[in-house]
Amino acid sequence: MNKPKIALTIAGTDPTGGAGVMADLKSFHACGVYGMAAITSIVAQNTKGVQHIHNLDVSWLKEQLDSVFDDDLPHAIKTGMIASKEMMQLIREYLERFDQIPYVIDPVMLAKSGDSLMEDEAKSNLQNILLPLADVATPNLPEAEEIVGMTINSEEDIYKAGKIFIKDIGTKGVVIKGGHATSKDKAKDYLFTRDDVYTFESTRFNTPHTHGTGCTFSAVIASELAKGRTIYQAVKKAKDFIALSIQYTPEIGQGRGPVNHFAYMKKEGLDDE
């Protein structure tokens, strides 16, 4: 049996399993990649909102990362909820030391409920500390606006923001997700790289159950990069994956329920149930 590819997620938790490291590990598994996880924050949340956040001491995060990197190196790294500047600086040390490993950043700032998941100071530090090291960043429209410091109301604005990510911040690739756009029929995402711009469209489904979409989307990209796929190939797979995940949500919870992390496996015949 061939040794599996490994993806590492560095993020917060979700006890109901729809977002954070729980969603990442499910997505890794669905993509045929072995998942590892280092916890940044313990979050009491459900489909109705975030009730409490406990950010771990940076030393606890370091101990987890030391344990991972002292044993078997991952083939891709993905970060999600990173609450503080100190955590970002620590993670940057590992990214610089192991700079051959592809890195995907989901710049998580708000939960689907609207609750803040990041300290205000940390938001401004994303641009200088982690984003310049990313192979792919996956902001939604509000996150992109926060990072580039401009309002995004049109496709022209999206192109301006994409250029800022690539040329000014230094990110190798960025997917600006159009899920928050006003189009009723299509969900359109824009991938900017240093050489090209690509667009991906899927049907927009009329459902409130989109908890964990950002985590899932970026985790699939990390999985595919771990397999040696190009950025374009990884994003295309993630777009197809998340569309099915939203189309066939499990209808769990009393609020914004999670997506279906195994819908893609069923489509591909990888899950017989």
Active site (catalytic) residues: 177, 210, 212-215
Say if CB 116 and CB 124 are below 8 A apart: no
Q: How far is CA 208 from its chain centroid?
A: 19
Percent of the chain as helix, strand, coil, to the nearest 5: 40, 20, 40
Q: CA 106, CA 202: separation in Å to the nearest integer?
A: 20
Q: Which helix (H) or strand (E) holds 239?
A: helix 231-247
Check: CB of residue 108 under 8 Å from CB of residue 81.
yes
Question: Is the separation of the CB atoms in 29 and 220 below 8 Å?
Answer: no
Query: How do beta strands 186-193 and 197-203 pair?
Result: antiparallel
DSSP-derived secondary structure for 59-120:
HHHHHHHHHHHTT---SEEEE----SHHHHHHHHHHHHHTTTS-EEE----B-TTS-B-S-H
Residue 191 has phi, psi (to 5 degrees) of: -105, 120
HSE, side-chain direction, 13 A CA sphere, residue 168: 10
Q: Which of 148, 72, 141, 135 is nearest to 99 (CA)?
A: 135
